[in-house]
């Protein structure tokens, strides 16, 4: 992910955006807008957080503006009511994470840090479920491009192990602890994996990996 220099909150409620206030208090540069028209959808150095409350939603409970933005910039959802959204649909759409309205502020700040560091913020059982569904739906014998096959052969054993851990929902710190390496080394390996698989983030890497599950 490109370096993020600003958190942009679309907050259409009359109450203050407490998450933005808290994020700014610990050093994040933030901007809060109250109207969709105020968003700059092409600013790739910003991370966009869309409040579910008061937003126009699709049938899966995902804000329509998030569906549009996620095609161009990193997007996460906040102020989300539990049981009002289909997290699997959000993940497959490319949404980086879901912050529920009943979560503690310290946990929300941890989520912000993780997502800005190019990690997904979803419950681990959901990540495992989505990965299994992708594998079940895939046909390893069909639709393989020469580029994908070449990428598989370029991956080192360590990189394949990291792909497995990412698919299981492990975060960078957990991967580092599991492999007895530094988080910096994990990030370096992930950068190499992204380059070889032509993936921009963990979501695209999951989609790529489904084809080659039997090779990991």
Q: Does 1.10.10.10 match the CATH number of domain 129-215?
A: yes
Average pLDDT of the residues in 11-24: 92
Average pLDDT of the residues in 173-191: 93
Three-state DSSP state, 7: strand
Q: How far apart are CA 71 and CA 34, in angstroms?
A: 21
C-beta neighbour count of 5 within 10 angstroms: 11
pLDDT at 1 over 50: no
More confident residue, 128 or 63: 63
| Among the listed residues 109, 34, 125, 27, the one whose alpha carbon sits nearest the alpha carbon of residue 76 | 109
pLDDT at 41 over 80: no
pLDDT at 186 over 90: yes
pLDDT digits (tens, 9 = 90+) for 137-168: 554 444 555 566 667 778 888 998 999 898 88
Supply 27's token pair. 């050093």
CATH number for region 6-122: 3.40.50.2300
Percentage of the chain lying above the pLDDT 70 cut: 85
pLDDT digits (tens, 9 = 90+) for 70-115: 888 899 999 999 999 999 999 988 999 999 999 998 899 999 999 9
Q: Answer whether 6-122 and 129-215 agree in fold.
A: no
Q: How far apart are CA 54 and CA 80, in angstroms?
A: 10
More confident residue, 134 or 210: 210
pLDDT digits (tens, 9 = 90+) for 116-142: 888 999 988 888 887 776 665 554 444
β-pair type (30-33, 75-80): unpaired
Q: How far apart are CA 46 and CA 103, in angstroms?
A: 24
Q: Rounded mean pLDDT of the chain?
A: 85
Q: How far apart are CA 91 and CA 149, in angstroms?
A: 25
pLDDT at 188 over 90: yes
Q: How far apart are CA 119 and CA 40, in angstroms?
A: 23
Q: Which residues contact 166 (CB under 8 A, 6 or more apart)?
A: 175, 190, 202, 205, 206, 209
Return the pLDDT at 45: 83
Return the pLDDT at 149: 63
Distances (CA, A) of 21 to 18, 32, 51, 109, 117: 5, 9, 15, 11, 20
C-beta neighbour count of 45 within 10 angstroms: 11
Provide the residue ranges of all domains of the chain, joining segments of one domain with +: 6-122, 129-215
């Amino acid at each position: 992910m490109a370096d993020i220099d600003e958190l942009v909150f679309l907050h259409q409620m009359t109450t203050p955006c407490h998450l933005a206030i808290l994020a700014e208090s610990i050093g994040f540069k933030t901007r809060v807008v109250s109207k969709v028209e105020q968003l700059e959808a092409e600013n790739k150095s910003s991370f966009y957080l869309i409040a579910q409350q008061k937003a126009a939603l699709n049938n899966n409970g995902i804000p329509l503006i998030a569906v549009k933005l996620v095609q161009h910039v990193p997007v996460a959802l906040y102020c989300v009511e539990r049981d009002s959204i289909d997290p699997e649909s959000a993940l497959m759409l490319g949404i980086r994470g879901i912050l529920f309205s009943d979560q503690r502020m310290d946990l929300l700040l941890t989520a912000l840090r993780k997502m800005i560091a190019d990690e997904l913020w979803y419950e681990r059982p959901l990540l495992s479920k989505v990965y299994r569904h992708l594998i079940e739906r895939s046909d390893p014998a069909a639709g393989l491009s020469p580029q994908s096959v070449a990428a598989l052969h370029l991956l080192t054993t360590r990189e394949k192990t990291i792909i497995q851990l990412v698919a299981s929902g492990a975060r960078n710190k957990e991967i580092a602890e599991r492999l007895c390496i530094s988080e910096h080394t994990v990030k370096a390996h992930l950068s190499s994996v992204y380059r070889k698989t032509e993936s921009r983030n963990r979501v695209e890497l999951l989609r790529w990996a489904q084809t080659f599950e039997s090779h990991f």
